[in-house]
Structure 1
């Protein structure tokens, strides 16, 4: 695979995968933090600790990783000819839709952390635990699309 990236393609792809791992780690951690934060709202001093943890995770891992994933991913997509209407890229369109959904989930989780910081939970603990599984389902689908390229 050469395209516009030339010999840098495998390095860009490797960096993309590394930052996907970082982003997914953050997307798996933050919802767990939110569950513990919500459960600790009535415990003196506990909410402040979770607010600090969530903020650090967001600033150090989650948001920077998402930005790098998008930049490198779009470079890889351009290399495949996505923006020139390349053939056989249905799998990539589906993958991008799922990554866009994950980005929305990221935004939702950050927003919910802000609600918890204000002491206003809106989900039951059970529902929050169920929502926690969304990144895992998306990751499975994205990996299958990227590896198998079914359409």
Structure 2
């Protein structure tokens, strides 16, 4: 029963984390296109609040619930399975992406962005690959 509670909270926090992971780079697109000071300042506030107030706490909670699931009987069984190792590698890549977003928040805050809105549009697509991979691995458990 504990495993199911952990799983439910893990899913909720992962959804919240992904909402931020998808939205923050979209803010970067608009911020890179902004040409007036008021808009740029507004984007800085939105980016900081999203990253610090929603994304980072969601990531920490998703990881906490995920790790806690590994300590249950079901989790210990799955730890020996290859699909979980691949999923965890994708999660590590997402953690790296999350921190890259944090660096970009700081870069925009310092008015030092060097990337175009087009670059951010491509950057915004990267977590989709991880999401598709993770969902397929968790549902299909292929190996």
Compute the displacement of 1:57 (Å). 0.9
Contact kept? 2:20, 2:55, Cα under 8 Å:
yes
Compute the displacement of 1:122 (Å). 2.5
Distance 1:8 1:38, change over 3 A: same
Contact kept? 2:31, 2:39, Cα under 8 Å:
yes
Number of aligned residue pairs: give it: 141
Question: TM-score, length-normalised on structure 1?
Answer: 0.88
Compute the displacement of 1:61 (Å). 1.1
d(CA) in 1 for partners of 2:26, 2:37: 20
Question: TM-score, length-normalised on structure 2?
Answer: 0.92
Aligned to 2:28: 34
Root mean square deviation, CA, Å: 1.5
Contact kept? 1:27, 1:106, Cα under 8 Å:
yes
Would you say 1:9 and 2:23 are equivalent positions? no
Compute the displacement of 1:116 (Å). 1.3
Which residues of structure 2 form unaligned runs of 5+?
none
Compute the displacement of 1:86 (Å). 4.7
Aligned to 1:91: 83
Would you say 1:146 and 2:138 are equivalent positions? yes
